[in-house]
Structure 1
């Protein structure tokens, strides 16, 4: 019998000062059995950085043909493809052809090595690549509980996150714009 995902419920007060976007989000996020809490929270952070009424989580790790997050228009066209982690160049190339915009959020301890090896292959692609510091993502993961009230304030390249048991600042460093 397959292991089922762990379900997390987030109530997030989002203030994106960069886009003048303010909202309350109620997110139900499934953590895939092979997914770490750090990766799941990187997905939540990427979602908040791109929040929109049409934005949604996909099957993610359960489906190799889908991104972690996407924005589909009312006409079902793929407007935004978001991957979290260190995807292969072929996957990113395919994504950049399918979606009007593609974003990658790299987050883990091997992120620097992945970027050194991959950046030349991404240079010709219309894709934005960002990096979160691994230590910051680890601190963010420590704030999580199965039901969680959080506040995300985005200004410049910083996201300030508070929860009942602490706070963390995450810097979103642009690697390729």
Structure 2
């Protein structure tokens, strides 16, 4: 019998001072059995750091033709393609041709992620940010995950301050370009 996804709920207080975004979404995040907690935390952070009207999680691992997070306009057109982890160059190329904006959030070594794209065709690669966090940050956050979570995330001057279930964390938000 195949295992189903585990649903995690996050009551989020989001204050992104850098972008002027202040929201309090309640998010239901499905974690597929083959997905690590670190990947799920990175998906959650990508969602919060990219938060805007029309943002949504895709079907996850089951949706091989969509990114982890996407933004659609009122007509249903994908306006932002947000990958998580270490997507291959072909996925980035496809996303950059379909959406106005593409971003990659990773919990892995960003130098190794970017090296895998070297010399490969990626549409508008110079416009695609590769976003990462301080080493150990994502794993430390993943260690305090529960099925029901209370989270406060404040972003100011490209630094994130996170409180999750009573534990506090902080990290710089590092950004480089894919191309």
TM-score bucket (shorter structure) = over 0.9
Give 2:29's aligned residue: 29
Q: Shift in Å at residue 172 of structure 1?
A: 1.7
How many residue pairs get matched?
176
Q: Is the 8 A contact 1:133 1:171 kept in 2?
A: yes
CA contact (8 A) 1:101 1:127 kept: yes
Which string of whole-angstrom CA distances, capped at 9 and with x for unpartnered residues, describes residues 27-65 of structure 1? 000001100111101000000001123100011211110
1:136 has 2:137 as partner: yes
2:149 is equivalent to residue 159 of structure 1: no
> Residue 114 of structure 1 aligns to a residue in which SS?
helix
Gaps of 5+ in 2: none
CA contact (8 A) 2:96 2:124 kept: no
Q: Distance in 2 between matches of 1:78 and 1:123?
A: 16
Aligned residue runs from structure 1 range 57-68, under 5 A: 57-68=57-68
SS in 1 for 2:171: strand
Shift of residue 132 of structure 1? 2.2
Report the secondary structure of 1:118's partner residue: coil
Partners of 2:75 and 2:173 in 1: how far apart?
Answer: 31
Contact 2:93 2:123 in 1 (8 A): no
Superposition TM-score, scaled by structure 2 size:
0.91
Answering whether residue 59 of structure 2 is matched by residue 53 of structure 1, we say: no
For the pair 1:13 / 2:6, whether they are aligned, the reply is: no
Return 3-12 or 166-175, whichever deviates more. 166-175
Query: Structure 1 stretches of 5 or more lacking a match?
Result: none
| CA RMSD across the alignment | 1.7
| TM score, norm. by length of structure 1 | 0.92
Aligned match of 1:3? 3
